[in-house]
Amino acid sequence: MASRLNVTYQTLLNWERTHPEFFDALALAEMHAQALWEDEGQTNLQNREFQSSVWSRSMAARFPKHWREKTAHVGGDDDDNPIKTESKVDLGLDEFARRIAGIATRSDQNGGDQSADA
């Protein structure tokens, strides 16, 4: 938009801060621009040549407040931080050898296929 008005982007930001009516006009223009792009997506839902992934990425870049792509993890704490689990098994040498022997025996019984353990 700054280019169309032949001013710098910083000038637009300055005008937004000092002129409430200009701020409102830019917000309204952004709302109309988003509606236009959303209509374009809706119009082309059945168009096999429409590149929906390009459209989606463009929407996320143009309108990040409403079209942000978010990658989430499953299972987090109340602050959405991943839950870290640590486990330590302290086996004696005899117990470790017994468990390995048991796995090997089951593997031999399954013809070398260890999927029964999964």
Q: Is residue 118 part of a domain?
A: no
Q: Is residue 25 part of a domain?
A: yes
pLDDT given at position 116 = 46
User: Which phi and psi angles does 86 have, rounded to 5°?
Assistant: -130, 135
Q: Is residue 90 part of a domain?
A: no
Encoding tokens for residue 20?
């409430």
pTM confidence score: 0.53
Q: Is residue 6 part of a domain?
A: yes
> Exposure of 75 by Cβ count < 10 A (0-12 exposed, 13-18 middle, 19+ buried)?
exposed
Range of the structural domain that residue 26 is part of:
2-67
How many separate domains does the chain show? 1
Q: Is residue 45 part of a domain?
A: yes
Q: Is residue 32 part of a domain?
A: yes
Please give the chain's pLDDT, 118 residues, in tens. Answer: 889 889 999 999 999 999 999 999 999 999 999 999 999 998 998 899 999 889 988 998 888 888 876 665 556 666 767 666 655 556 667 777 777 788 878 777 777 554 444 4
Q: Is residue 52 part of a domain?
A: yes
Encoding tokens for residue 59?
């929407």
Q: Is residue 50 part of a domain?
A: yes
